[in-house]
Structure 1
Amino acid sequence: MLTQHDKQRLRSSIFRHLDGIATATTSCALHEKGVLNYILEQQQVDLEQLTIKFKANEGYLNVALRILCAQGWLNQEPITKNNTIHYAINDQSEKAFQLIPLYKEAVQLLSYSVKFPEERIGPDAFLALERIFKNYENHFGLKKPPEDSLEFQILKHIEGVIVAPIIVLMGVRGLFHKYFMEGSFTAEEYHRNPESFKKILDFFSYLGWFTKKKNTYQFTDTGLFFAKRATAYGVTVSYLPTFVNLEELIFGDPLILKTDNINETEKHVDREMNVWGSGGAHSTYFKVIDEVIIELFNKPIDEQPKGILDMGCGNGAFLQHIFDVIEHQTLRGKMLEEHPLLLVGADLNQAALKVTRANLISADIWAKVIWGDVGRPDLLAQDLKEDYGIDLGDLLNVRTFLDHNRIWTAPRIPSLRTSISSGAFAYRGERLQNSLVEDSLLEHFQRWKPYVERFGLLIIELHTIAPELISKNLGKTPATAYDATHGYSDQYILEIDIFIALAKEAGLAPEAQYASKFPNSDLATVSINLFKGVSS
């Protein structure tokens, strides 16, 4: 039985594993180009000058350097009033940069790992894994380091690069089914190449995840802890197509992973894996959403929304979940004959709309499923009214982790605000000034305000935190991985306080009784808010 201390330690390993995928790939790309040695020589560098010297794409170079700040290896100086950015070395920089070559074998392994979803683990990948297993067990030639050391930090990163893609593959392919988790099993029961697969199971046994007796394996409490949290790795691992292309992204063609239109298969992320990972990770937040939905739909009928619009409906799972909550746990659920619930799923992606439509039909749920862009509520409102006679303002608008992923729109009226955000933001390789990112979000909120004055806008959103804060809390937050996956893919996660301040500035008032953040501390990277437009 695991103690609370044990669980805290293992949860810390998950966060460090995720850190590793972002940090190993980023630092190797910078090391190979000589950027880190140059920074050591100069001690402090101007981002713009560094970009020119190394012919880099400034936006993605900024994301990369900020990741190293989050790991405590560089300092990010406060952004000046003229929007220049400086990075400086600290007492960890020289030693950390000397150890970066240790990542090389693990980063090379990712060229196989990125193909696991389609090709599984082939013979060449097994050989590469076998080599790196041996090197890891020998600590890559280092003495076994104490847990507060740089060496431990880097070895944990390497461990993450090795195990995370395998954990996700096993989770998706069923090894974490209770058949395997509740009893002993053999490699032959799971894999067509049992001799090679045994080497993976033996490595996980070395990590303490399995016990081995002759040819059978059984999960330990530690192994069960990781198995039950396999989805926690899913989102970061889904971005391996981005991480294996960082050198080109930062120093070459910034558009290498872009598609020509929204309906093409995405190059930068494995979307199916991303949805799988998101589903597990988001369940905690949905419990809070349920409480809000239940309270709203238990009000007198004339105070309730006519229905719900889920913008960015994905596969329709969230819309289906909300309907189930309303049907079975609210007053409205008992009145659906007299007061039908209008359900609308909207998405930019035609494939997502097709899947949503099929899933809702299969669940026997009536809903309108339409094309919609979160950045153009005016068009959405027009389509709803003209095609279905539905007023957007009569619906409760909900969305999950979407607003930061809207298509970049430069602000029409840039302000003279001085941004206090520590974030690193890019669009097609170019650096975006933080003040412009804030102005863009402000105008985005202003566009939605007229449609959410009556019933509101219920949002789950992702946020960044300052790299200095991350570096002081390694193993306690997944923020480094979030900043990497979103920064390299042109997504715009701002700090919670800035996000809420901009909503208020736009005339959207957060209702305090529905506000939550996760974790409930300065390390919060997720917020839930119900915003209502304040009448002018």
Structure 2
Amino acid sequence: MLTVAEKQLFREELFRHLDGIAVAPVAYSLLKNKVIDFLLSNKESSISHIASLNNINKGYLNVALRILSSQGWLDYKINNNEVLVELNKLSTIAFSHIHLYKDVVELLEYSGKFHPRKFELEPFHKLEQLFKKHKNRFDLPISQNGTITLIQNQILKHIEGALVGPTIVHLGMGGMFHKYFMEASFSPEEYHKFPKSFDTILSFLSYLGWFSKSNGNYTFTDKGLFFAKRASAYGVTVSYIPMFRQMDSLLFGNPNILWESKSSIETHVDREMNVWGSGGAHATYFKKIDEIIISIFNKPLNQQPKGILDMGCGNGAFLIHLFEVIASKTLRGKHLDDYPLFLVGADYNKAALKVTRANLIQADIWAKVIWGDISDPDLLQKNLKDDYAIELKDLLSVRTFLDHNRIWSTPSSSIDAPSVSTGAFAYRGKRLNNDDVERNLKDHFTKWKKHITRYGLIIIELHTISPALTAKNIGKTAATAYDATHGFSDQYILEIDAFLKVLDEVGLQSDKKYFSKYPDSDLATVSINYII
């Protein structure tokens, strides 16, 4: 059994791994393209000045430098909508070690040529070389300087994360963490057709303390079980590796590269992996949502919504969960024959609609599954009324981690007070002022207001925190990874306070009785709101 201290230590390791998956490609791209040299030559610089001198896409440069700041390697501040970065006591030491990312970044790029769900021989060989380098600490000299050692360990843990993150996700999605393997010893031959190569991975994970090895067989240690049970925690960040492979283009080339594919399949994210990864975390948030749902559907029947709209229904799991809660734990559930529940799953992604429809049929739940755009609730209302004779305002609206992924449009609203957000936001490489991001969010909720004032809107939302706060709490938050995955893919995660400020300006409120944030501290990057 792990002690509380051991669990905390391993959780810190996990967060540092996630940092590494995001930081390595960003930092190495800045090094290759001489931005690091420029920063070292200029104690303080503005984003605008750096971008103009080096022909860089300013919006993504802003995201990139904020990420370095979140690791403690730069000081980052916004002054009258201009972003300034300044060297600090860690900058020179950290920047002198960025070259260590070279091999692992090249491996991430190289692996894009191979099947995303299989371990193939050529990447195996490159992995093996990197495992050896990592075990030898990349031949770094042992330092007597505590600060240098701190930075070296930080970067080595980043590299470790970029190595084990994709590995543990592939193992998790491939069934490696089935109880058959977790409860008994096993040999490489039992799992993989290339046992010698697979043994290389297991040996490295044993070096990290995840397995013990005896007579050619492997057994999970308590540490290994800890990480195996949290494999999905790596999933969302790893799912964005296709985007991180394009870092040179995003920063220094074509900022539209992620969006120019004519294929209907997303090229910047492995959506199947993303859904698998996010599913592990959702269970925690669903418990809080259940409280709100039970309260609403225990009201007198004539005061309840006619049903539920899940905007951004994904694979339908949330809608299925909500139906089961209502059916088994509420007054409405006892009267579904007389007061049927009108369920609607809406999504912009047509592939997701097919998955939702199939999952709802399998769950024997009647629901409508329709195309919808979170940025256009009026069209959604029209389609519901024309096709099903129901008003959007008669439904309880719910959504999970979606509002920050709205399609950008030039804002028309004004805001009552300037933004105090520290976020870095971009649209197709162009930098967005934080005031404009709040104005855009205000436009967004203004569109929805008339459709949700009767029964409300339940939202699970993702947030950022300041890079200075992240830097002081490395190993305690996944904020750096969130900022990278969302910043480079044109998504807009504000701090919780900024988010609530915009709601207030629209004339909407988050019911304090049901408000929750995770973790319940200043490091909160997720909130649950019942907006009325």
Could you say which TM-score interval applies, normalised by the shorter chain? over 0.9
- Tell me, yes or no, if the aligned pair for 1:116 and 1:169 is still in contact at 8 Å: no
SS class of match (1:149): helix
Counterparts of 1:475 and 1:213 in 2: how far apart (Å)?
A: 32
Partners of 1:284 and 1:404 in 2: CA distance: 20
- Tell whether 2:79 aligns with 1:80: yes
Identity within the alignment, %: 58
Q: 1:107-506 alignment to 2 at 5 Å?
A: 107-114=105-112, 117-118=115-116, 120-142=118-140, 149-259=150-260, 264-415=264-415, 417-506=417-506
Quote the Cα distance in structure 1 between the aligned partners of 2:51 and 2:335: 62
Show CA shifts across 1:194-246 (max 9, x none).
01100100000010000000110000000000000000000000000111110
Q: Letter of the aligned partner of 2:140 in structure 1?
A: L
- CA distance 1:240–1:135, change in 2 (3 Å): same
Structure 2 gap segments, 5+ residues each: none
Task: Say if 1:334 and 1:114 are closer, same or farther in 2 by CA, change over 3 A.
Answer: farther
State the partner residue of 1:98.
Answer: 96
User: Shift of the alpha carbon at 1:126?
Assistant: 1.1
Q: How many residues are aligned here?
A: 529
* Residue 71 of structure 2: aligned partner: 71
Instruction: Output the CA distance in 1 between the equivalents of 2:86 and 2:353.
Output: 47
Corresponding letter in the other structure for 1:101:
H
Q: How much does 1:413 deviate? A: 3.7
Cα 1:197/1:467, change in 2 over 3 Å? same
Moved over 6 A (4+): 144-148
Go from structure 1 to structure 2 and tell me whether the alpha carbon gap of 1:114 and 1:290 turns closer, same or farther (over 3 Å shift). Answer: farther
- 1:117–1:169 CA contact under 8 A, matched in 2: no
Range moving further from structure 2, 269-278 or 329-338:
329-338
Deviation at 1:80, TM superposition (A): 2.2
Where in structure 1 are there 5+ consecutive unaligned residues?
none
Bigger mean CA offset, 484-493 vs 128-137? 128-137
2:79 alignment partner AA: T
In 2, Cα distance between equivalents of 1:144 and 1:469: 30
- In structure 2, do the counterparts of structure 1 residues 330 and 119 end up closer, same or farther at CA, with 3 Å as the change threshold? closer
Separation in 2 of the partners of 1:451 and 1:220? 52
Change (3 A) 1:185 1:112: farther
Find the counterpart in structure 2 of residue 510 from structure 1: 510
Is the 2:413–2:440 contact (alpha carbons within 8 Å) kept by the matching residues of 1? no
What is the one-letter code of the residue matched to 1:138?
N
8 Å CA contact retained: 1:69, 1:467: yes
Shift, 1:37, TM fit: 1.2
Q: 1:481 aligns to what SS in structure 2?
A: helix
CA contact (8 A) 1:310 1:399 kept: yes
User: In structure 1, what is the Cα distance between the partners aligned to 2:271 and 2:409?
Assistant: 23
**Residue 108 of structure 2 contacts residue 241 of structure 2 at CA under 8 Å; is this kept in 1?**
yes
Task: Determine whether 1:31 maps to 2:31.
Answer: yes
State the shift of 1:96 in Å: 0.2
Distance verdict in 2 for CA 1:4–1:505, change over 3 Å = same
Q: How much has 1:72 moved relative to structure 2? A: 0.3
Q: Partners in 1 of 2:463 and 2:62 — Cα distance?
A: 18
- CA–CA distance in structure 1, aligned partners of residues 320 and 409 of structure 2: 31
> C-alpha separation between the residues in 2 aligned to 1:488 and 1:94?
25
Distance in 2 (CA, whole Å) between partners of 1:475 and 1:170 is 24
Q: Does the residue aligned with 2:116 lie in a helix, a strand or coil?
A: helix
SS of the aligned residue for 1:513 comes to: coil
Structure 1 length-normalised TM: 0.96
Letter in 2 for 1:192: K
Q: Is the 8 A contact 2:415 2:438 kept in 1?
A: no
